[in-house]
Amino acid sequence: MKFSRPKADLYVPDNAPPPEAVRRTTHLGIGAHQDDLEFMALHGILECYGRRDRWFGGVTCTDGAGSARSGPFAHYTDEQMMAVRVEEQRAAARIGQYGFMAQLGHPSSAVKEAEARESLVAELVGLLGESRPQVVYTHNPFDKHSTHIAVLKAVLSAIRRLPLSGRPQQLLGCEVWRGLDWLPDPLKVVHDVSRRPELAVELAGVFQSQIAGGKRYDLAVAGRYLANATFLDSHATDAATRVSYAVDLTPLIGEEGASLMVFADSVLEAFSAGIRDGL
Q: Is residue 4 part of a domain?
A: no
The 188-192 sheet, strands edge to edge: 9-11, 100-106, 56-62, 27-31, 135-139, 170-174, 243-248, 188-192
Question: What is the count of structural domains for the chain?
Answer: 1
- Which range of residues forms the domain containing residue 274? 9-278
Check which CATH number belongs to the domain holding 132 and give it.
Answer: 3.40.50.10320
Does residue 213 register a pLDDT over 80?
Answer: no
Q: What is the pLDDT of residues 93-146, one digit of tens each?
A: 999 999 999 999 999 999 999 999 999 999 999 999 999 999 999 999 999 999
Q: What is the pLDDT of residues 50-72, one digit of tens each?
A: 999 999 999 999 998 877 677 78
Q: How many CA atoms lie within 13 A of 50 on its CB side?
A: 5
Q: What is the DSSP letter of 178?
A: B
Report whether 7 contacts 29 (CB < 8 A): no
Q: Is the entire prediction scored with pTM above 0.85?
A: yes
Task: Give how far the C-alpha of residue 207 lies from the chain's centroid of Cα atoms, to the nearest Å.
Answer: 15
CA distance 34 to 86: 7
- pLDDT at residue 173, rounded to an integer: 98
Q: Is residue 175 part of a domain?
A: yes
Q: What is the pLDDT of residues 216-239, one digit of tens each?
A: 999 999 999 999 999 999 989 999
Q: Is residue 139 part of a domain?
A: yes
Counting Cβ atoms within 10 Å, is residue 185 exposed (0-12), middle (13-18) or buried (19+)? exposed
- For 57, the enclosing helix (H) or strand (E) is strand 56-62
Provide the residue type at 9 as one letter.
D
Does residue 49 register a pLDDT over 80?
Answer: yes
Q: What is the pLDDT of residues 4-27, one digit of tens each?
A: 999 999 999 999 999 999 999 999
Q: Is residue 3 part of a domain?
A: no
Does residue 276 register a pLDDT over 90?
Answer: yes
DSSP annotation string for 105-149: EE-HHHHTSTTTTHHHHHHHHHHHHHH--SEEEEE-TT-S-HHHH
Q: Is residue 106 part of a domain?
A: yes
CA distance 251 to 144: 22
